[in-house]
Amino acid sequence: MREEFEVAIVGAGPAGISAALALAEKGIKVIVFERGEFPGAKNVSGGVLYGHDLAESVPDFIKRECPVERNIVESRLWYLSLDGGFNVSFRDRAFEEGLSFNAFTVGRARFDRWFAGIAEEKGVLVVCGTTVTDLLKDGGGRVTGVRTDRSDGDVTARVVLIADGVNSALAAKTGFRPEPKPSDVALAVKEVIELPEEVINERFNVEAGHGVTIEILGEITKGMDGVAVIYTNKNSLSLCIGANLFDLMSNTVRPYEMLEEFKGHPMVAPLIKSGRPREYMAHWLAEGGYDTIPHLYGDGYLIAGESGMLFNALHREGSNMAMASGRLAALTIAGALARGDTGSEGLAGYAAALQGSYVMKDLKKYRRFNRFLLNHKELFSTLPRLGASAAREMLTVDGVSKKEKQTSIRRRIQGAIPLARLARLLWAGARSIG
Amino acid sequence: MNFVCCIKQVPDTSEVKIDPETNTLMRSGVESISNPYDLVALETALILRDKYGGWVTALSMGPPQAEQVLKEAISLGADAAVLLSDRAFAGADTLATSYTLYKAIRNLDVDRPVDIVLCGKQAIDGDTAQVGPGVATRLGFTQFTSVVEIRELNTSDRHITVKRRVEGGFEVVRGPLPTVITVDLGLARPRRASLPGLILSLRTVIDRWDADAVGAEATKIGLKGSPTWVRRIFSPPLKEGGPVFDGRKDPVPAVERFLDAIVADGELTSELFKNPGV
Ligand SMILES: Cc1cc2nc3c(=O)[nH]c(=O)nc-3n(C[C@@H](O)[C@H](O)[C@H](O)COP(=O)(O)OP(=O)(O)OC[C@H]3O[C@@H](n4cnc5c(N)ncnc54)[C@H](O)[C@@H]3O)c2cc1C
Ligand SMILES: Cc1cc2nc3c(=O)[nH]c(=O)nc-3n(C[C@H](O)[C@H](O)[C@H](O)COP(=O)(O)OP(=O)(O)OC[C@H]3O[C@@H](n4cnc5c(N)ncnc54)[C@H](O)[C@@H]3O)c2cc1C
């Protein structure tokens, strides 16, 4: 008594749910499988979402009580040495008014549950606590459904949408996507630190309900290609730090040690002082970019979200790409079902739709970015150190003339990194994001 | 055989804390679960139904979100479920709770006479173990509490033989149906829902009865029907370990130190002499 669905979706993350919603709105019979006890139970995210992409799925998301933590009104970028660092930041009234909820923080555990709830109201069946262990295939290799870890656990579907995130056991088992190489993923750890709401408002200089994001590069990742972030939630801060998995392995650094040192950094410590650690998690991130994206469709199946390596590492945008790709997958599937062709050819429109969207345009634009960071470790060692020592020297009032200081700084830079290398680095950097 | 299984939604007490200032349970943010004993009761009912045929109805009194435990019961194989939910039921103590459950079971009894009511031995939050016996008394059924094994269910001459835990051991007893059984954790191991069961539960709309539908008297339900007042809730103080005289390497000095210590502690010595069995 195997039940048949038009679409089976693996994973109730942003990709799976936005696809399910779009399909249900067209009256298509969808089932979503989520291995967590509830959607979001297994999800880690620094927690910034983007209003534009969410509104495409749920236009009135604020009215429908989307569990927003804080509306982001200021973005900071830090470049840190071990003992200090530089801070650039931008704030605009627009983000408080016309552009409010352009970006906002959420707790993924609460958000994913809410998002899935909206899909359920539209008639989507969200089956939690159930892991998809295999894809069902017919003799010709065409995907015809999924197998789950429950008894009588097979479900047939005309199309399967794989939206199971970056760390996909299903990919490893079925090979629908090659296992990412260590250098194509980052391992990030996240800690949530509880602080009273007013304390956060004061420390970050914001009004109630408003928040700040801080993206951080520099010596904090111990010379490895990596980043850290600090995001403000209503009454907690999310701290994440991560580095390329290949770098972590070859340097035998443990991510949580990196996190502990990060928390003690002089620019971080005052922000989290007297806070109470609430949760701690580790997760992969798909950093490889455009060149690591697998073939995203085949006979009877499609791949969306981070399972398809759709992640913009430079801007830390993953959830929005997940939502956008999920929606495009849903449109493709609806069309294919209507035409009665759910084979590889019938689903090919997905690739074209993605290429035409900001998802592939952005990923293509930054396709060299991951390599650039991996190949220029000075960015995480020599450069922040030199920058900090130069700034320190210029700001120290000790009777030495500024001209003499500049000469000595220039000499120090030349001693530490050949000018030609520096020039090439700047050129490669500009090209990787240009 | 017609089975009714009473299931209470409880906070996952492995996580619940008591606020030391107000002496109340800090329930916010705590996940709710089915009382573990009740899942054993349900499993027992399902096993008996599958063996002897019949019908299992899951019954719960609680706020609207207690529907979750009944959906779980459906996913595991219960044939029907009823949620007793009404603001008027709120604040019920064990007396009012057993009255309300009893009235609902009487309603179910009208269509199809109830043979066996299964309850957990106790709820992991209230822990009183009074509701099962309270329901049995009102129904006028025989009752077996703390049941660890069902030895025999004879459906023709309508009696049941069970093994139950009693202080210091077990006893095997036999009695006539209809009956109320409260189950101990060892009686059965709850199954995991099958996929069709889980899907069915997601699609099932749970029947909801308010006080009128239950036919309960207003003075016997909820806070009004509850003479129990909670004066204080507290965490028992942590017991500190006593002194340890480690004699694993060399027992002689350890015993000497032990003897010195009890001689020095007059209270302990007199305890020992008062109670030479120690
Ligand atoms: C110390 C104490 C403090 C209390 N505090 C409060 C309070 O602050 N607020 C308040 O409103 N009430 C309070 N109550 C009363 C109430 O919530 C009881 O928990 C309730 O009456 C059931 O008692 P129990 O949990 O001890 O169940 P038990 O008698 O231990 O439960 C035995 C079995 O009865 C069945 N059962 C019990 N309750 C239900 C139910 N609701 N639906 C279906 N089956 C059920 C289950 O099968 C369960 O396994 C308190 C009771 C006590 C003893
Ligand atoms: C530390 C960290 C910080 C981040 N910060 C941000 C940020 O600030 N902003 C941003 O936009 N992005 C951020 N990201 C990235 C973002 O979290 C992901 O890009 C996004 O969640 C991808 O969505 P998805 O739906 O593709 O996958 P996921 O959100 O990973 O969802 C996949 C779901 O599938 C389930 N699943 C997996 N396998 C199975 C199976 N076999 N059967 C059933 N269910 C299964 C999982 O439990 C999970 O719920 C961050 C990521 C990390 C690790």
pLDDT band at B26 (very low <50, low <70, confident <90, very high): low
What pLDDT sits at residue B111? 86
The reported pLDDT for the residue numbered A177 is 85
Return the residue of B nearest to A31 by Cα. Answer: B199
To the nearest whole number, what is the mean pLDDT of chain A? Answer: 93
Q: Are residues A270 and A343 in the same domain?
A: no
Q: Provide DSSP, A133-196.
A: EEEEE-TTS-EEEEEESSTT-EEEEEEEEE---SS-HHHHHH-SSPPPPGGGEEEEEEEEEE--
- Tell me whether residue A82 is in a domain: no
Arithmetic mean of pLDDT over chain B: 90
Average pLDDT over residues A225-233: 95
Within-domain flag for A420 = yes
B218–chain A Cβ distance below 8 A for any pair: no
pLDDT at B197 over 80: yes
- Residue entry with tokens 């296992």: A179
* CATH level 3 topology of B2-220: Rossmann fold (3.40.50)
- ∠ CA B171-B173-B177, nearest 5°, is 150
Domain ranges across chain B: 2-220, 241-278
| CATH code, domain with A215 | 3.30.9.90
When scoring B15, B195, B200 by the number of chain A Cβ atoms within 10 A, the one with the most, hence best to mutate, is B195
Query: Which residue do the tokens 């700040």 mark?
Result: A212
Domain that holds residue A403: 370-433
Identity (one letter) of the amino acid at B123?
A
Cβ contacts (< 8 Å) between A129 and chain B: which residues?
198
Which of B8, B117, B184, B234 for a ligand 1 pocket mutation test, highest count of atoms within 8 Å of Cβ? B8
- Residue B2 to residues A421, B46, B48, B55, B115: CA-CA distances in angstroms? 83, 11, 10, 5, 5
In a domain, A99, yes or no: no
Which one-letter amino acid corresponds to residue A103? A
Q: What is the pLDDT of residues A401-421, one digit of tens each?
A: 999 999 999 999 888 888 888
Residue that is last in its domain, among A286, A304, A329: A286
For residue A74, tell me if it sits in a domain. no
Structure tokens at B46: 């399902």
Q: Which residues of A touch B202 (CB under 8 A)?
A: 125-127
Residue B278 has what pLDDT? 44
- How far, in Å, CA of B236 to CA of A45, rounded? 39
Residue A434 has pLDDT above 80, yes or no: no
pLDDT for A278: 86
- Which pLDDT belongs to residue A97? 87
Residue burial A17-30, b: 16+ Cβ < 10 Å; e: rest: bbbbbbbbeeebbb
Do A62 and A192 belong together in one domain? no
Percent of chain A scoring above 90 in pLDDT: 79
Does A201 have pLDDT greater than 60? yes
Q: How many CA atoms lie within 13 A of B76 on its CB side?
A: 27
CB-count burial class (<10 Å; 0-12, 13-18, 19+) for A67: middle
For an interface test with B, the pick among A124, A151, A154, A234 (most B C-beta atoms closer than 10 Å) comes out as A151
Domain end point (choices A330, A356, A382): A356
Domain end residue (candidates: A309, A332, A356): A356
A352 and A206 share a domain?
A: no
CA dist A359 and A320 (Å) reads 9
Has residue B23 got a pLDDT over 80? no
Rounded to whole angstroms, the Cα distance separating A390 from B12 reads: 56
pLDDT at residue number B265: 72
Same domain, yes or no, for A375 and A313? no
pLDDT (0 to 100) of residue B12:
84
**Atom 17 of ligand 2, residue of closest alpha carbon:** A45
B202 touches A at CB < 8 Å: yes
Q: Are residues A244 and A202 in the same domain?
A: yes
Length of chain B: 278
pLDDT the model gives residue B14: 67
Question: Cβ distance B29 to B54 under 8 Å?
Answer: no
Q: Which ligand is nearest to the CA of A161?
A: 2
Residue B103, both tokens = 């009235």
Instruction: Find residue B274's DSSP bridge partners.
Output: none
Q: With an 8 Å Cβ cutoff, are A127 and B196 in contact?
A: no
Is A220 part of any domain?
A: yes
Tally of domains within chain A: 3
Shortest distance, CA A125 to any CA of chain B (angstroms): 7
A192 and A250 both lie in a single domain? yes
The answer to whether position A268 is within a domain reads yes
Query: Would you say the ipTM is above 0.85?
Result: yes
pLDDT band at B213 (very low <50, low <70, confident <90, very high): very high
H-run or E-run covering A276: strand A276-286
Do A302 and A384 lie in one domain? The reply is: no
Point out the least confidently predicted range of A126-130, A297-301, B15-19. Answer: B15-19
pTM: 0.88
Tell me if A206 is assigned to some domain.
Answer: yes
In a shared domain, residues A279 and A296: no
A21 plus A122 within the same structural domain: yes
**Closest approach of B195 to chain A, Cα-based (Å):** 5
Q: Which amino acid is at A326?
A: G
Query: Cα torsion at A33, A39, A41, A46 (round to 10°)?
Result: 120
Do A271 and A402 fall within a single domain?
no
- Whether A84 maps to a domain, the answer reads no
Task: Verify that A324 and A212 share a domain, yes or no.
Answer: no
CATH of residue A138's domain is 3.50.50.60
Q: Do A232 and A253 fall within a single domain?
A: yes
